[in-house]
């Protein structure tokens, strides 16, 4: 956890908090629009000028920070590299400040070489969070081409017999064809590439991967295993484990968040009601869980043994909040929007917003990366910021 010092809450976080605490169920669209208009057309982006000053280095994408504020820097091949440029694109959209878009361009270009990296399934996280947001902001045709090329590369990891995209290449002595719930998030790249190229191949791969995961990853209570290992000869399931959770039968919080987000997003493209129903059931598992804290920021695992003394995971909360806003759009069920607002109100508070004077390029504290390896525990992580900003933008744009 980052050591706390004197702190002034970033104004855009205050704006988010205003929206999330005033636009409750029953508020009129006019009221929401008034709140947004009154609070977004102000000069609040200057508080983040240090993000513009953070040195650009193709080998130093900021991933996380330790309790002393020492930044963990990674190259573009790391699965988290796309989140920082993606966050800059999102801040540019939220604030209207073009400086962040220009800075995002500089960081984004260093990820282009990943379009040929066929040793990873994380193409969506790396390329779509950066180039995808960039294309939506600029309509730069070269960005669209890079997204399509990345989809071609990702498609090489698809196995027709299994009906899924291979996730990891390590641990081959134990796993034959591992597929992790996180991989649902990379399907957005394929769906969009299919739209951009008018090539249905990418759509079909993404759709089948979602169907295979739907069939094999979930327990009866709608919680998810982290990893399902498949037999490449028969396509059958060899084992089900929870690699980054407390135990194989526990419910790793970020895994549940990936599932909720993934099936909500998959419904966006396919309109398959099975995907929508699964998203609703996963949401129910999360929202109604007996171990969910009052502030709606989950512990790193819903079944961690020392609750309430376990680390929280703000990243899982941010992913859930963003997904629930989209789910609300498909269901018009206010419970999803209300719960998202509850999460975002908590995340916008001084408890979770980083309170320090060191100009580290992060917004939220109290995320948990890989608890079994004691790695990135209870501190700032780049993907928490990304989904927090995405949820902020989605809430602003909600009509």
Q: Is 231 among the residues known to form the active site? A: no
Question: CA nearest 226: which of 236, 235, 216, 212?
Answer: 216
> What is the C-alpha R_g of the chain?
20
Question: Which H or E run includes 240?
Answer: strand 237-241
Catalytic pick among 29, 46, 169, 182: 182
Report the alpha-carbon distance of residue 200 to residue 186 in Å, rounded. Answer: 16
Angle at 255 between CA 253 and CA 257, to 5 degrees: 75
User: Is there a contact between 76 and 58 (Cβ–Cβ < 8 Å)?
Assistant: yes
Is 158 in a helix, a strand, or coil? strand
Calculate the alpha carbon distances from 153 to 118, 158, 198 in Å.
6, 10, 17
According to DSSP, the β-strands at 178-180 and 164-165 are: unpaired
Q: Is 122 among the residues known to form the active site? A: yes
Catalytic pick among 78, 122, 207, 229: 122
List, as one string, the DSSP characters of 348-364.
TSTTTB---SS--S--B
Supply the residues annotated as catalytic.
122, 182
């Amino acid at each position: 956890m980052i050591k706390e010092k004197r702190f002034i809450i970033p104004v855009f976080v205050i704006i988010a908090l205003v929206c999330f605490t005033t636009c409750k169920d029953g508020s009129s669209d006019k009221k929401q629009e008034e709140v947004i208009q009154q609070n977004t057309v102000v000069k609040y982006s200057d508080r983040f000028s240090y993000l513009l000053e953070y040195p650009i280095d193709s080998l130093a994408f900021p991933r996380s920070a330790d309790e002393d504020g020492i930044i963990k820097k990674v190259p573009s091949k790391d699965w988290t590299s796309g989140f920082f440029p993606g966050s800059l694109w999102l801040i540019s959209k939220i604030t209207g400040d073009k400086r962040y878009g220009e800075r995002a361009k500089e960081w984004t270009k260093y990820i282009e070489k990943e379009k040929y990296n066929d040793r990873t399934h994380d193409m969506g996280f790396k390329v779509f969070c950066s180039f995808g947001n960039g294309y939506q902001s600029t309509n730069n045709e070269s960005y669209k081409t890079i997204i399509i090329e990345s989809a071609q590369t990702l498609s090489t990891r698809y196995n027709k017999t299994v009906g899924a995209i291979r996730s990891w290449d390590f641990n081959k002595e134990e796993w034959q064809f591992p597929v992790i719930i996180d991989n649902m998030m990379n399907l957005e790249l394929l769906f969009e590439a299919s739209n951009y190229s008018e090539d249905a191949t990418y759509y079909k791969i993404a759709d089948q991967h979602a169907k295979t995961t739907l069939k094999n990853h979930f327990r009866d209570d709608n919680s998810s295993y982290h990893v399902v290992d498949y037999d490449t000869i028969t396509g059958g399931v060899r084992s089900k484990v929870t690699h980054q959770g407390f135990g194989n039968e526990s419910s790793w919080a970020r895994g549940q968040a990936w599932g909720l987000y993934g099936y909500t997003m998959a419904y966006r493209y396919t309109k398959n009601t099975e995907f929508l129903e699964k998203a609703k059931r996963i949401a129910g598992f999360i929202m109604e869980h007996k171990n969910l804290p009052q502030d709606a920021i989950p512990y790193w695992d819903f079944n961690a043994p020392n609750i309430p003394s376990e680390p929280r995971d703000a990243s899982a909360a941010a992913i859930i909040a963003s997904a629930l806003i989209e789910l609300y759009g498909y269901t018009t069920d206010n419970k999803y929007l209300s719960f998202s607002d509850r999460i975002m109100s908590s995340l916008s508070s001084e408890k979770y917003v980083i309170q320090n004077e060191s100009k580290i390029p992060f917004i939220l504290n109290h995320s948990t990366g890989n608890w079994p390896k004691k790695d990135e525990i209870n501190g700032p992580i780049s993907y928490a910021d990304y989904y927090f900003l995405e949820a902020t933008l989605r809430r602003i744009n909600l009509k």
